[in-house]
Amino acid sequence: MRFSIYQDSKKGGRKVNQDRMGYLYTRDSLLMVVADGMGGHARGEIASELTLQTVAALFQRQAKPMLADPAAFLEEAILASHRELHRYRAENSLPEAPRTTVVACVIQQGLAMWAHAGDSRLYLIRGPRIAARTVDHSRVHHLVSSGLISDEDAKDHPERNRIYNCVGAYVAPTVDISHPMALHSGDVVLLCSDGLWGALHDRQIIDVFSDRTVMRAVPDLVSDALEAAGPEADNCTAVAMAWAGAEAVDMVPPSDAPVSTLVIPDGAVATTIQFRRPGEELGAELTDDQIDEAVSEIQRAIQRASKLIGEP
């Protein structure tokens, strides 16, 4: 596989960043995840981090080097995250489990398949249009789809944050799983929290990718969303992948430095996710500078590895 990928997260006007993001890939499979801890419940950052870690750990265990059944993996991973949150609740004698929304996408054999619970979104952008997008599990989406309010009204609706499906609630989430979609060269798959899509129109999101690489588009999107939302901006997180296909990369700008998974040894997994050691505190806050530096180092490593492909 050949693709370009980038991620970014900022806490906006909130005291704590309760979003978590990351991606992992083997020679034959790529997983991207965004989880948005629900601030209306205690320890949202714990919920998003436990979910990210659980989904990533299962991917490392099962992608050998690809998943046998991506749909089954996505459902299993999200439900396992739900159980982990309730285990955390029991171990810490909490009145309720921490809660989070989540969206995850698997790409292998040129096909993308995704799953979500809540209002963290996935966009599949193909040229000037959205080829696919997740449907929010929210009260406001129900009002929009019923014709009771407009998309514009939804952005400032008082019930905008009412989510009826999430990880960590009293009942297990309904995992909404897509059909597999074949990717075209140049397609962009974007996963993001509501801090991004809630502040921008879909057209603004599409246009950013029309003339920029994902390395430039993702931080620009995050900055645009924070500026649009103002001083009370929510946490804002995005992971985006531009597909270059199995071989041909002619539709991807040279400066995008596509990853080639051929540099990954058999049995190895490349990841941006920092796994916690036993006893290590969950929910520890990273500063924006630490996140930026970690992402920059990952991109430098990717570019160094990609250059090896062309060497004899």
pLDDT range class, residue 39, cuts 50, 70, 90? confident
- For residue 20 the two structure tokens come to 């978590």
Third-level CATH fold of 2-309:
Phosphatase 2c; domain 1 (3.60.40)
pLDDT surpassing 50 at residue 129:
yes
Q: Round the CA-based radius of gyration of the chain to a whole number and report it.
A: 18
Percent of the chain with pLDDT over 70: 76
Which residue, chain included where needed, has tokens 């074949």? Answer: 182
3-7, 207-211, 263-267: lowest mean pLDDT where? 263-267
pLDDT confidence of residue 282: 62
Q: How far apart are CA 75 and CA 40, in angstroms?
A: 25
Which two three-digit tokens encode residue 221? 């999107």
- Note the pLDDT of residue 120: 97
d(CA 285, CA 309) in angstroms, rounded, equals 36
Nearest alpha-carbon partner for 188 in 67, 293, 101, 105: 105
pLDDT for residue 251: 43
| Predicted confidence (pLDDT) at residue 34 exceeds the cutoff of 90 | yes
310 pLDDT more than 50: no
Mean model confidence pLDDT for the chain: 84
Top-confidence residue, 282 or 177? 177
Contacts 24+ apart (CB under 8 A), 89-98: 94/42, 94/43, 96/41, 96/42, 96/170, 97/47, 97/168, 97/169, 98/37, 98/38, 98/41, 98/42, 98/43, 98/44, 98/46, 98/47, 98/50, 98/168
Q: pLDDT digits over 141-181, tens only? A: 555 455 445 455 455 544 556 788 999 999 999 999 999 99
Q: Which residue is associated with the tokens 């991506």?
A: 70
The confidence score (pLDDT) of residue 276 equals: 67
Of the candidates 20, 4, 12, 17, which has an alpha carbon nearest to the alpha carbon of residue 81?
20
Share of the chain above pLDDT 90, in %: 68
Say if residue 309's pLDDT is above 50.
Answer: no
DSSP 99-168: -EEEEEEEEETTEEEEEEESS-EEEEEETTEEEEE----BHHHHHHHTTSS-HHHHTT-TTTT-BS--BT
Q: Report d(CA 205, CA 14) in Å as an integer.
A: 23
Q: How far apart are CA 111 and CA 239, in angstroms?
A: 18
**What pTM value is reported for the model?**
0.85
Q: Which pLDDT score is estimated for 73?
A: 98
Query: pLDDT tens-digit profile of 236-274?
Result: 999 999 999 864 434 444 445 577 787 788 888 999 988
At residue 40, the pLDDT reads 65
pLDDT at 157: 42
Most confidently predicted of 178-187, 237-246, 281-290: 178-187
Contact present, 240 and 208 (Cβ < 8 Å): no
By C-alpha distance, which of 242, 247, 251 is closest to 214? 242
Whether 277 and 222 have beta carbons less than 8 Å apart is answered as: no
Runs of H (alpha helix) within the chain: 44-62, 70-91, 139-145, 151-154, 194-197, 202-208, 214-229, 288-309
Domain boundaries, the chain: 2-309
Compute CA 245 distance to the chain's CA centroid, rounded to the nearest angstrom.
Answer: 20
- Amino acid identity, position 274: Q
